[in-house]
Amino acid sequence: MKTLRTIADVRAAVRAARADGATVGLVPTMGAFHDGHLSLVHRARSESDLVVVSLFVNPTQFGANEDLATYPRDEGRDAELAAAAGVDILFAPAVTEIYPAGFATSIHVSGLTEVLDGAARGPHHFDGVATVVTKLFQIVAPDAAYFGQKDAQQVLVVRRLVRDLDMPVRIVACPIVREPDGLAMSSRNVYLDAAARERATALNRALDAAEAAVAGGRTDAASILSAARAELAAAAIDPEYLELRSADDLRPLEGVASTALLLVAARVGAARLIDNRTLEAPST
């Protein structure tokens, strides 16, 4: 595995591989790898000849009061894990390589980005994501790019971006990877102390309860949300949002007619956590 720092070096390496007929898979990350990231790498490895992982803690997607300064960073460990997982190129640029002096462009995806995490974190968040993802796609020009379904809204934003700007890249959403007790893996889980870590398992229980409600025929939003909210309340968690939305375009839903997304965000101890579940109406 090569660690590359410059756009020019990545372009040269990808060009050389493409000249030999290689297909290219990109896994965009902010590092602090866990098994969720590695599942994206494994999927990319199984489908691509050249696997590029970007490691870049993107400042433009963090708000002024968010955790940019403290976001976990350990490039040495990440590089070891990436090499062991079969990554060919680790692209770990400096901030100035991605945002040189005078950088003035921002990509905004309307509609999908004003709700849920866009409302909770502010409009800069998805503008930052869309801008850096666009840059990464321009730099690496991958055939496919791999994202975790834990960031369900991000996946929809990236799909819309790619569709609207005619980017020739296939977006692959990979399943959420969970700890044995159900907590969705996240780089931010390191912020949880023991008590908060225990309480955080309520997010998955809330999604389980919602799924059980739907399986039991309670497909209206009020019943689903109240089943989920009861699990959160039992762990003294007051969610930032808990919403039933369309899995295609995030419009609010009054019930599960076919497929829906239940999305939750909550502050638990020192961590802000998100999770979601796709809910399917029981077949009649």
Kindly state the number of chain residues that form the binding site for ligand PAF, as judged by CB under 6 A. Answer: 10
Q: Burial, 120: exposed, middle or buried (Cβ in 10 Å; 0-12, 13-18, 19+)? A: middle
Stretch 141-170 residues interacting with ligand PAF (CB under 6 A): 151, 154
Token pair of 151, please? 């960031």
Q: What residues have CB less than 8 Å from 163, skipping those under 6 apart?
A: none
The answer to whether residue 37 is catalytic is yes
Cβ pair 138, 166 in contact under 8 A:
no
- With binding defined as CB under 6 A, does residue 132 bind ligand PAF? yes
The residue among 210, 198, 214, 223 whose CA lies nearest residue 263 is: 210
Q: What is the largest CA-CA distance in the chain?
A: 59
Choice between 137 and 197, CB closer to ligand PAF: 137
The one segment of 68-76, 104-112, 126-134, 201-209 that binds ligand PAF by CB under 6 A: 126-134
Q: To the nearest whole angstrom, how small is the minimum distance from the Cβ of residue 212 to ligand PAF?
A: 29
Choice between 33 and 199, CB closer to ligand PAF: 33
Query: How far is residue 81's CA from residue 136's CA, in Å, rounded to a whole number?
Result: 21
Q: Which of 58, 113, 131, 204 forms a contact with ligand PAF (CB under 6 A)?
A: 58
Cβ pair 242, 274 in contact under 8 A:
no
Per-residue contact flags (x/-) with ligand PAF for residues 60 to 99, judged by CB under 6 A: -x--------------------------------------
Q: To the nearest whole angstrom, how small is the minimum distance from the Cβ of residue 170 to ligand PAF?
A: 16
Q: To the nearest whole angstrom, how small is the minimum distance from the Cβ of residue 171 to ligand PAF?
A: 11
Query: How far is residue 275's CA from residue 277's CA, in Å, rounded to a whole number?
Result: 7
Token pair of 85, please? 């997982």
Q: Which of 30, 81, 206, 224 forms a contact with ligand PAF (CB under 6 A)?
A: 30
Choice between 17 and 171, CB closer to ligand PAF: 171
Q: Is 55 helix (H, G, I), strand (E, B) or coil?
A: strand
Q: To the nearest whole angstrom, how small is the minimum distance from the Cβ of residue 262 to ligand PAF?
A: 20
Measure Cα distances from 251 to 114, 171, 221, 261 in Å.
11, 21, 13, 10
Given the residues 37, 42, 124, 125, the one annotated as active site: 37
- With binding defined as CB under 6 A, does residue 29 bind ligand PAF? yes
Choice between 149 and 154, CB closer to ligand PAF: 154
- With binding defined as CB under 6 A, does residue 117 bind ligand PAF? no
Q: Which phi and psi (to 5°) does residue 164 adopt?
A: -65, -35
Cβ pair 113, 123 in contact under 8 A:
yes
Catalytic residue numbers read 37
Binding site for ligand PAF (CB under 6 A): 28-30, 58, 61, 129, 132-133, 151, 154
